Structure 1
């Protein structure tokens, strides 16, 4: 069959795509940035689109042409610079259902979430529920799958955060450490989608996917620590109130285009746990321990875990370095331009000083804005090399300066390269 996967570049979507391709289906993947995906998965036909801009039935007509099944693996945790939950998780889905009625779509598989919790009014869950309810009453053949916390060989979001927390050196700092957590192997999610496509799961089913056990968050983090090959470490519970500043910063970063798993939505869901509460309609898979054992960790997993929480600190620290490099000379521009007077007139020296300050401030600010981060980092490399070259030509004695104004550019270059190396999120 011809199958369209929404969010096919994501953690769950890519696993579902691989399974359906292996089953022999003709798979098309829709994503916002499928450039790298085209290289990684050449067997998938890739389409570029943003669900937030596909909110009418007309927007879907060409995309749904000749598609027999639609699998929705797309989703966003919280509104932010690049995410509009109401548009992408609700309005776009209602438009999809309307368009599907006029096309040859025979089944819609919706990857949803457990919306039956005390935090069901969160926009993330409310928009999912709105789409689910509309699908159930649309008259279209459908299957809704509600996976617990998805664990697999790769990781993203909550599962990536688990690895990061597990890698802490001296103690495991945990908020809501006693919250109940159910997991599900990502292969079981892909298998359930495959079963729905093949008709093994009848249309009209709304099914929870979870393991056969429920662990507390602290137990799950310890399990991941063991998986990483690290020695046991004590659990250090952190009161939720102390995490509010961190959550506020994560939410603010979300408005700048960064996707932190520490945002308020994730913290609210984690405070209540991720459990199916004994749902009758459920497919039970293997335990989290079995999933991890089937996917032994490598040194790259330990590197990722240790760098995951350092990444925002590295980026913020580098941005602050450039901002201060531009702001501090402006506090005394006459003094800052003194070292240039031996090579140019005072007016030119002042102009160059103000220009370099403006460049430094602009690059530092641009790095904080996720859509511009890569370009900002590349510009930082170019500007740093220009500073080194200019300083060496005009005043080579600066290399011997006890304060090392030129030498200090070298670690900045290395930090920029590190940030570039770990910038990608998917």
Structure 2
């Protein structure tokens, strides 16, 4: 289905995606990279030009703005994040539009051997006739979450241009550093000032998500005994070898991302660096239930303790840090925001579907901090890699849902 929003959404995503906003988990600044503010400042300029109110960038890097209400009702927030994932190259993104895609495999100008095939990716096969946007093959696209940014900006522009449309006060927020788990500063809930909110950070058409992983991060540090290798017998303790032994005893066949799906959690080693003298390993722990997450932490601690007992000359530490919790724990107590989003979907001819997110959003933290924030689809697919793609028409459908949702909020006033 084509809408009046297609051209605007395409233009916005092409412009936003070309701006490098990659986050850096190793940085201690806020935001983690100054380049994220390049897009944030552009959004401020565009919001002011379209007539939004209270537009500003906070000192923790979040763009905030208001679409004034025309009727009484709950204050509704809409959020998306400006940063892109650090897992894959995000510099020099060259978006490509495959207009009125005919259904044949999509190839990439800068990576001729790369193929996006509808046979391999069934959801793509459903999008024949849509306008498909990809990158050029050597970078991710950044639809995660610049598609969400484009959708919210398009919605805001439309509502501001039509003051006759009923809606309550809307608050917009564009956050940095979501991809590295730092999108929600403790000051954001109060600054946002919303009764409830929605992140535009989901995938397939019609998805309204209110369950996410619960998440912890873990850092294991192994300090061995460094000795010249020529005279090391009986003296050296190789930290790299101990790290390899730790990986070997963890349940790789049943508890890693590459062998889990659905509601199964995982224990993921995503970074390891060091020398024979000292090695650091970084893990993420994910499960939909608190007990499952705690069991993963216990498993990792016990594996470290066993390794320490076997080699007392080494020093092995395991530090586990909470990251976010399943938003369902709070949303299931009051499903009003979820029910409104489902009603908005049906009002524009979509049947809503709710599936658990095998990840988290800024909404996970916001919900835990007192602002109920389910997640709405954008259409983004195969994120964090060179095959990332999105349908402009899926984005347009999400825009229609957001506008309808604002109208429903006004009628609830």
Give the TM-score category using the shorter length: under 0.3
Structure richer in strand, relative to its length: 2
Which structure ranks higher in relative contact order (CA pairs < 8 Å, sequence separation ≥ 6)? 2
TM-score after normalising by structure 2: 0.24
